Amino acid sequence: MPRLWPDRRVKPQYGTVEIDWGHKLASGLDACWLFNEGGGTILDLTKRGADATLSGGLNWVTGQGGIGIDSPHSDTVQATFSTRGLPTSTNTLTMMAIFTMRTLNPFNVLYETRSLVLQGLLLSSATGNPLTWAWNADGNDYGAATGLTLSTGRVYLGVAAIAAGTTKMYLVDLSNLGTMSTFNSGLSNTAQTMNGSWQFCVDSNGGSRGWDGHIYQAAMWERTLSDADVQTLAAEPYAFLREARRRRIFVVAGVPPADTVLDTKHRSTIWYGGLRG
């Protein structure tokens, strides 16, 4: 039987994959969005409830990274989601996104918490408008990734691996054979909450800080990804997914009862004259 999705370097079609919870990159994974629905709600593939609801103005697009969301650099256009049961006080986490930029504007937000406390993955106003992170909402964020500068029209993987005493930023140019740049910040990070309300593509502070470009994937981990983890993502951005398992039932003879349940673990349920075999 041909595989629906054979290549973990290529974005899968909607409905063809699920989280491979046995993969090392699935450890600590709290939310994952593939933006491959092509319409309607942006689903959290972990099935933990962080589905994102779109506001008017965010458009679905097929771009360099496959199907994704086109964000028009707006203060009001956004997709909101709520995380549930996540730590309310932590400084050990990772934020990731795959994206392109249409224009470079300071403080463009990929995703962040919906409050005046800036926490998320974004561009900063430092020289070159580099990819950066915000977790303290104070002086430890905007200049943290100086040097990780972007170009328009390229597909990037951006990762902020945040730990108590340091943050390591990764910027991988997926349009250029996975060329990786990194930046280490030795700044300490006060604990903040991962739990609560978040949003894609817009900043709660306003000021024309909405994302201007496409977003193709995003994920959050309740742990600090290692260099080896990020190198795996750089080589295979969809490494922690697998082809969705399909449920099967075979009726050999007779009619199965109305309450027959398909087996989710691929065990065939065979009925002979109404008796389970």
Mean pLDDT of 106-134: 77
Residue 216's H or E segment, with its range, is strand 212-221
User: Does one domain contain both 274 and 150?
Assistant: no
Q: What SS3 class is residue 181? A: strand
Which residue has better confidence, 65 or 220? 220
Number of structural domains found in the chain: 2
Residues ≥6 apart with Cβ < 8 Å to 119: 112, 113, 134, 135, 137, 192
Kindly report, residue by residue over 62-84, the tens digit of the pLDDT: 988 888 888 888 877 778 888 87
Most confident of 66-75, 113-122, 236-245: 236-245
What integer pLDDT is reported at residue 137 of this predicted model?
Answer: 56
Range of the domain at 155: 17-243
- For residues 177-185, average pLDDT: 83
Q: Is the pLDDT of residue 102 over 70?
A: yes
The share of the chain scoring above pLDDT 70, in percent, equals: 79
pLDDT the model gives residue 257: 52
Residue 89 lies inside a defined structural domain of this protein: yes
The two tokens of residue 163 are 């730990």
Q: What one-character DSSP code corresponds to residue 178?
A: T
pLDDT single digits (tens) 16-36: 899 999 999 999 999 999 999
257 and 149 assigned to the same domain: no
User: Distance of alpha carbon 181 from its chain centroid, rounded?
Assistant: 20
Read out DSSP for 47-105? -SS--BEEPTT-EEEEETTEEEEEEES-SS--EEEEE-S--SSBS-EEEEEEEEESS--
- Would you tell me how many other CB atoms lie within 10 Å of the CB of residue 166? 14
pLDDT reading at 246 higher than 80: no
Residues 119 and 200 in one domain: yes
Q: Does residue 157 carry a pLDDT above 60?
A: yes
Q: 60 and 28 in one domain?
A: yes
Mark whether 194 and 266 lie in a shared domain: no
User: Which residue, 161, 157, 275, is CA-closest to 225?
Assistant: 161
Q: Does any domain span residue 139?
A: yes
Using DSSP's 3-state secondary structure scheme, residue 26 falls into helix
Compute the mean pLDDT over every residue in the chain, rounded to the nearest whole number: 79
| Residue 5 placed within a domain | no
CATH of the domain at 179: 2.60.120.200
pLDDT at 260: 44
Same domain for 203 and 257, yes or no, is: no
What's the pLDDT score for residue 249? 45
In the predicted structure, residue 107 carries a pLDDT above the cut 90 = no
Distances (CA, A) of 48 to 6, 81, 86, 147, 200: 26, 11, 10, 35, 18
Q: How many CB atoms lie within 10 A of CB 15?
A: 11
Dist CA 41 CA 35 (whole Å): 9
The reply to whether 8 falls in a domain is: no
Model confidence band, residue 194 (pLDDT cutoffs 50, 70, 90): confident
User: Same domain, yes or no, for 191 and 214?
Assistant: yes
Let me know whether 205 and 268 are in one domain: no
